[in-house]
Amino acid sequence: MPEVHQFFQQLINGIALGGVYALIALGYTMVYGIIELINFAHGDVYTLGSYFSLSILALIPLSKYTHGWELWLIAIAVIVLAALLCGIVGVLIERLAYRRLRNAPRLAPLITAIGVSLILENIMQIWKGTSEVSFPQFLPDHVHVVAGVGFHDRAVLVVVVSLVAMAALNMLVFRTKLGTAMRATAQDRDAAQLMGININSTIAWTFFIGAALAGVAGFISGIYYGTTFFLNGYQAGLKAFTAAVLGGIGNITGAMLGGFLIGIVEAMTSQYISDQWTTVVVFSILILILVFRPSGLLGEQVPVKV
């Protein structure tokens, strides 16, 4: 395979991987933007999204449906349901674990977040066991070859779904009343409250949306890899967090960009250095960013406390 084809092939691998990271990174960045909490349980909500999708798919007699369009409709329904369930879990986590600690020293909610992460991991372990769980590959999956570079429908699905979800999020944040409330709450919670914004419900909606996006990521990664594992969210969560920091924590466009960049960096490291160095390279980027450009590529978007 010519060198240039190889590069583009890896670029596709990287973008597909990055789409998943980007969707998870959005949840980190939205929550951080609004209450300055690094929600470490977020990676596990992503895995929960895979597990919800699995359980929903188990209820559908997939073999009865043979037409491509029927299967795609099922896929859309499962994505919506999984996102909804994850969103509810996100709201519950905020209500039960974080709301009381909103004005506590910042270390307290951080430790709570780690605790919630462990609780979710244990629940998933009890639910589906500690083995890899197969994810039904029910969608039609053709290989396309364009200019010598091959890609699967599944990879296209990952990229399309993540781009659509991101576009929808952007609309929501910048074009709707809720989005305005979210941005106002992020800028100055007290002033927003004085303007008549319900802080609690705005923050709850932020958790709902972030967790729902993680649920979408959980579904598409299940389709993309064909398997899922109860601890997957741990490493994926850390890498998505790196993506959020890379793009500028609190910055929604930054999180998307960061996610795709981290995915591409991983694929290129594997191609041109060695696969065992990918994790090292990703976390070295995290450290370098924190040291030399703490506000990330596109700049932080957090309240400026005067």
C-alpha span between 48 and 54 (Å, rounded): 10
Site for other proteins contains 235 (CB under 8 A): yes
Residue 143, strand partner residues = 152
Number of residues that bind other proteins (CB under 8 A): 45
Site for other proteins contains 271 (CB under 8 A): yes
Question: Tokens 């041109």, residue?
Answer: 272
Tokens of 138: 């029910």
Opening angle at CA 30, ends 29 and 35, nearest 5? 100
Site for other proteins contains 176 (CB under 8 A): no
What's the min distance (Å) between Cβ of 223 and other proteins?
Answer: 12
Residue list 11-30, contact with other proteins (CB under 8 A): 13-14, 16-17
C-alpha span between 103 and 182 (Å, rounded): 18
Residue range at the interface with other proteins (CB under 8 A); choices 54-62, 82-90, 131-139, 173-181: 131-139
End-to-end CA distance of the chain: 57
Site for other proteins contains 234 (CB under 8 A): yes
Site for other proteins contains 6 (CB under 8 A): yes
Opening angle at CA 47, ends 41 and 53, nearest 5? 135
> Could you tell me if 54 and 222 are in contact, meaning their C-beta atoms sit under 8 angstroms apart?
yes
**Contact residue for other proteins among 38, 84, 102, 132 (CB under 8 A):** 132
Strand (E) or helix (H) holding 50: helix 42-59
Dihedrals phi, psi of 206, to nearest 5 degrees: -60, -45
DSSP assignment of 113-172: HHHHHHHHHHHHHHHH-SS-EE----S---EEEETTEEEEHHHHHHHHHHHHHHHHHHHH
**Contact residue for other proteins among 193, 227, 253, 295 (CB under 8 A):** 227
**Residue of 203, 208, 205 lying closest to 88 (CA atoms):** 208
Q: Binding string to other proteins for residues 80 to 109, with x set by CB under 8 A, is what?
A: ---------------xx-------------
**Contact residue for other proteins among 55, 137, 193, 200 (CB under 8 A):** 137
Site for other proteins contains 281 (CB under 8 A): no
What's the min distance (Å) between Cβ of 173 and other proteins?
Answer: 29
Site for other proteins contains 275 (CB under 8 A): yes
Site for other proteins contains 1 (CB under 8 A): yes
**Contact residue for other proteins among 78, 113, 236, 249 (CB under 8 A):** 236
What's the min distance (Å) between Cβ of 243 and other proteins?
Answer: 15
- Binding footprint of other proteins on the chain (CB under 8 A): 1, 6, 9-10, 13-14, 16-17, 95-96, 118-119, 122-123, 125-126, 129-132, 134, 137, 150, 152, 225-227, 229-232, 234-236, 266-271, 274-276, 278-279
